[in-house]
Amino acid sequence: MNYVQIINSILVLAVIIFIGFIITKLRVIDKNGASVISNVIMKVTFPAIILTSMQKSFTQELFKNSIALIGISMAIYVVLIIFVTIFGRVSSLPLEKLKIMKFLIIFGNVAFMGFPVASALYKDVGIFYASCFNMFYNLLMFSYGIMILDKKSKKINFKNLINPGLISTIIGFIFFLTSSKLPYIIFRPLEWVGDMTIPLALLVVGNSLAEIKFKDLINDPMIWIYSLERLLIFPCALMFILKFIGLSSYLLVIPVVIMATPAPLTAGVFARAYGGDELFADKSIVLSNFLAIVTVPLIIFLIGM
């Protein structure tokens, strides 16, 4: 890895986050505006960048790596589900805080942090592999994720599984398998729209950092424990396991980077919609996303050692 180039790329992401922080403080954008932008990202620009990044001719290497990443992703999330199930039985946390803690342990800020880092590392190939790795995540968040928070939800609502991110990934993967290409007049506009994803996502992260007082983060040790687990302990453990079984390159870097992402910005939305400690979710989002500016480059450095 070219660490100078990687660090420069990460610093560029950090600068955009800082711009989001500043424009929020200057009241150029508020929480409602950030919510609208987030909605545009998740329903428009995010699917567009996935679809265009998967416009690749079929090769055995891409196919084998993508299938391997899907398998690795499924294994990781199954382990996490087992872990939070055990954690839930032994934890003494209040129910509302426990529910959101379980959600936060499983799900990371993939769209708003993982994809920008994957793009910084590997350009469009990074987005392609991250999209494949993220397939199971999309299925899980809108099924098991809701069941964690909403005790009334005993069954999976299959309508929730039909979301733009997953649909665009499946369509993109079919295009890849068949080496089909979108017409230029469709591809180019989608590419331009998709290119907005990363800067907009990082501006939203900056907004979330500006929306809460940092002194409020000091009083809750659980958010520090969570952030340490999410940003350092788990990705380091995963890195050790993947290296131990002989994985390298994309099959090592993509899973570790994705699993080193902080709390998802959607956690607060889910807590409000389905139940959970909203304040704890908001504080976890802010602290973990702030710390990730330092911890993600550290994890990337450790991968290369």
* pLDDT at 216 exceeding the cut of 80: no
> Is 305 a domain residue?
no
Residue range 14-71, pLDDT digits in tens = 899 899 999 999 999 988 898 899 889 888 998 999 899 889 889 999 999 999 999 9
> Is 193 a domain residue?
yes
- The whole-number average pLDDT for the span 227-231 is 95
* pLDDT at 169 exceeding the cut of 90: no
- The whole-number average pLDDT for the span 110-132 is 90
pLDDT of res. 265: 81
> Is 27 a domain residue?
yes
Q: What percent of the chain has pLDDT over 70?
A: 94
Query: Of residues 99 and 150, which shows the higher confidence score?
Result: 99
pLDDT of res. 177: 92
The torsion defined by the Cα of 271, 273, 275 and 276, in degrees rounded to 10, comes to: 10
Question: Token pair 């424009």 is at which residue?
Answer: 23
pLDDT category of residue 190 using cuts at 50, 70 and 90: very high
> Is 226 a domain residue?
yes
Report the CATH number at residue 53: 1.20.1530
Angle (CA) 229-270-207 rounded to 5° is 75
pLDDT of res. 158: 67
pLDDT category of residue 253 using cuts at 50, 70 and 90: very high
Q: How many domains does the chain have?
A: 1
Range of the domain at 193: 3-300
> Is 168 a domain residue?
yes
CA-CA distance, 226 to 203, in Å (whole number)?
Answer: 24
Both tokens of 115, joined, read: 């994809």
> Is 191 a domain residue?
yes
CA-based diameter of the chain, in Å?
Answer: 57
CA-CA distance, 23 to 211, in Å (whole number)?
Answer: 11
- The whole-number average pLDDT for the span 134-152 is 84
Mean predicted lDDT score pLDDT of the chain? 89
pLDDT of res. 118: 92
CA-CA distance, 12 to 9, in Å (whole number)?
Answer: 5
> Is 154 a domain residue?
yes
CA-CA distance, 224 to 104, in Å (whole number)?
Answer: 13
pLDDT category of residue 162 using cuts at 50, 70 and 90: confident
> Is 166 a domain residue?
yes
